[in-house]
Amino acid sequence: MSAPALVRGYEVVIGLETHAQLSTASKIFSGASTRFGAAPNTQACAVDLALPGTLPVLNRGAVERAIRFGLAVGAKVAPLSIFARKNYFYPDLPKGYQISQYEIPVVQGGQVEFVLEGAPRRVRLTRAHLEEDAGKSLHEDFHGLTGIDLNRAGTPLLEIVSEPDMRSSAEAAEYAKALHALVVWLDICDGNMQEGSFRCDANVSVRKPGQPLGTRREIKNLNSFRFLQQAIDFEVQWQIERIEDGLAIEQATVLFDPATGETRAMRTKEEAHDYRYFPDPDLPPLVIAPEWVGRVQAGMPELPAAMAARFRRDDGLTADAAALMTQSLAFARYYEAARDACGQPKLVANWLMGEVSKRLNAEGRGIDASPVPPATLAALIGRVVDGTVSNNAARQVFDALWAGEGRDVDALIEARGLRQMNDAGALEAIVDDVIAANAKSVEEFRAGKEKAFNALVGQVMKASKGKANPAQVNDVLRRRLGGG
Ligand code: ADP
Ligand code: MG
């Protein structure tokens, strides 16, 4: 590993705590729906409201998703883990405690791997534990009053805690992206960051190289990769400023304000003992038999890293291309479908990295929403390979397909007259005309100026209205010029 980049002579240290909402239909300890966006308090049952006499019943699907995650990151799936009560008072927490896991979490250790500026990086995980989400306080629309919506109370979360292994805001963002891609790939979380299904708390400290870890401040609830990076950058400058002024950093919980780009202290940091953690007497220990882990293992999808390795090995893709093709399961499926339809892995990858990604990014859509299905892209690539159209013409066809001006590749090629000139006789006639009309360029070429040759190629392409095959034009021109 190369030495981490310093900021004004300080090393930045970051550990992330990520909350991934697990994609179960019902809550972690009750049968109420987890669907997002319902009218307030229509999806909170007696258990979620903490009515006296109600008891939690653990949702198997949440545990299964935690096991899936543990297996994917090479962690230990604990054969026995314990649910604990984390006690604090807040209006959106009706029980007065959150059910979480503390001393013995369900997932222990593991690691997340990703690429940072072309170099492989690995961040160790401390743990991942199951817990319930709290409700929401609604400060809008109440004429100065605050409302409580308990629909989210009891929604299953997997809190994924990293070791303080990251050394820059860019690395933290890449880690978060890799983790996000992984939980979506595993189909354990919908990954919708706007709806809060995936949110990060960033623990940040700075130190002079070689010194022990500095005191951290924790930035809460960052729900976009950009905010994550901005918030860390601001926080790092703030901490350095303070230390340079001879002041101490106090451990604190801070909020990021996207409007100002600043972090600001919310409260001094609670310590674990403030929460009076103790095992929840309402829930037995969570016991996971090896057979259960085995069944989950058997149902695991091929993971992105393994799939990328396969694309490099079997399809001859570069590391960058393979990483791009496996950015999501949907992307990988699209790539494989197009590849299988035309048998041209590298060309498919090039189109996906180029034209397709360019448009998807510009329009902020995912590959699922591509207006050009994989079979159509494959058909277009097939027409480039068999010489029917030039690359240039293919891009015009692609534009038309994307804009919904047609669905059939061959029909579009014909309708727009984009068929490449494959008639050798016609091309030779054009070449001869161009040679006759450009005596000066011909002379210069014969005197050894390659530039003149390119000018002649350009003239032929123009005369053919772009329909000539450039490689063929090269051949015919050289033959005609060489032969005198
Ligand atoms: P909590 O925030 O609940 O008190 P921990 O003490 O386990 O939990 O730490 C939470 C996160 O803070 C972890 O991701 C860990 O890697 C990170 N962390 C711990 N110490 C530091 C530090 N000095 N600088 C930056 N991050 C840290
Ligand atoms: Mg924390």
Q: Name the residue with tokens 């997997």.
A: 158
Nearest-angstrom CA–CA distance, 145 and 373: 50
Nearest-angstrom CA–CA distance, 434 and 458: 10
Which pLDDT does position 483 carry in this prediction?
A: 52
| Distance from the alpha carbon of residue 15 to the mean position of ligand 1, in angstroms | 6
Q: Whose CA is nearest to atom 17 of ligand 1?
A: 15
Ligand 1 lined by 163 (C-beta under 6 Å): yes
- Of all ligands present, the nearest one to the C-alpha of 270 is 1
Nearest-angstrom CA–CA distance, 154 and 131: 8
Ligand 1 lined by 94 (C-beta under 6 Å): no
Ligand 1 lined by 45 (C-beta under 6 Å): no
Provide the β-strand partners of residue 108: 76, 127
Extended beta strands in 136-293, E state = 136-138, 147-149, 156-162, 198-207, 217-222, 252-257, 262-268, 278-279, 286-287
Nearest-angstrom CA–CA distance, 363 and 404: 15
Ligand 1 lined by 135 (C-beta under 6 Å): no
Q: Is 4 helix (H, G, I), strand (E, B) or coil?
A: coil
Nearest-angstrom CA–CA distance, 362 and 357: 8
Ligand 1 lined by 274 (C-beta under 6 Å): no
Ligand 1 lined by 216 (C-beta under 6 Å): yes
Q: Dihedral through CA 72, CA 201, CA 225, CA 139, nearest 10?
A: 130
List the structure tokens of 10.
């300080």
Q: Name the residue with tokens 């222990």.
A: 108
Of the chain, the end-to-end C-alpha distance in Å amounts to 61
Provide the β-strand partners of residue 80: 287
Nearest-angstrom CA–CA distance, 50 and 96: 9
Q: Give the pairing of strands 11-21 and 156-162.
A: antiparallel
List the structure tokens of 131.
């817990």
| Distance from the alpha carbon of residue 17 to the mean position of ligand 2, in angstroms | 6
| Distance from the alpha carbon of residue 219 to the mean position of ligand 2, in angstroms | 9
**231 Cβ contact partners less than 8 Å away, ≥ 6 residues apart:** 202, 219, 222, 256, 263
pTM over 0.75: yes
Exposure letters 132-166 (e unless 16+ CB within 10 A, then b)? bbbbbeeeeeeeeeeebbbbbbbbbbbbbbbebbb
DSSP classification of residue 353: I
Ordered per-residue pLDDT tens for the chain, 484 residues: 556 789 999 999 999 999 999 999 999 999 999 999 999 999 999 999 999 999 999 999 999 999 999 999 999 999 999 999 999 999 999 999 999 999 999 999 999 998 888 788 999 999 999 999 999 998 876 678 888 999 999 999 999 999 999 999 999 999 999 999 999 999 999 999 999 999 999 999 999 999 999 999 999 999 999 999 999 999 999 999 999 999 999 999 999 999 999 998 887 777 777 899 999 999 999 999 999 999 999 999 999 989 999 999 999 999 889 989 999 999 999 999 999 999 999 999 999 999 999 999 999 999 999 999 999 999 999 999 998 998 889 999 999 999 999 999 999 999 998 888 777 788 888 999 999 999 999 999 988 888 999 999 999 988 888 788 888 899 899 988 875 4
Which pLDDT does position 221 carry in this prediction?
A: 92
Ligand 1 lined by 252 (C-beta under 6 Å): no
Which pLDDT does position 253 carry in this prediction?
A: 94
Q: Which of 86, 123, 203 to mutate to test the pocket of ligand 1 (most atoms within 8 A of CB)?
A: 203
Nearest-angstrom CA–CA distance, 480 and 115: 51
Ligand 1 lined by 161 (C-beta under 6 Å): yes
For residue 369, which amino acid is it?
A: A
Q: Which residue ranges form the domains of the chain, and what is each CATH number?
A: 11-294 (no CATH), 302-415 (no CATH), 424-483 (1.10.10.410)
Provide the β-strand partners of residue 200: 18, 222
Greatest extent of the chain over all pairs of C-alpha atoms, in Å: 101
| Distance from the alpha carbon of residue 259 to the mean position of ligand 1, in angstroms | 26
Nearest-angstrom CA–CA distance, 461 and 473: 8
Compute CA 420 distance to the chain's CA centroid, rounded to the nearest angstrom. 39
Q: Name the residue with tokens 């079997």.
A: 314
Q: Which of 101, 125, 216 to mutate to test the pocket of ligand 1 (most atoms within 8 A of CB)?
A: 216
**Closest ligand 1 atom to the C-alpha of 214?**
23
H-helix or E-strand spanning residue 434: helix 424-437
**Closest ligand 1 atom to the C-alpha of 203?**
26
Q: Name the residue with tokens 């805001």.
A: 169
Q: What residues does the ion ligand 2 have nearby, CB within 5 Å?
A: 17
Angle between the 60-72 and 169-185 helix axes, to the nearest 10 degrees? 130
Ligand 1 lined by 13 (C-beta under 6 Å): yes
Other CB atoms within a 10 A radius of the CB of residue 261 amount to: 12
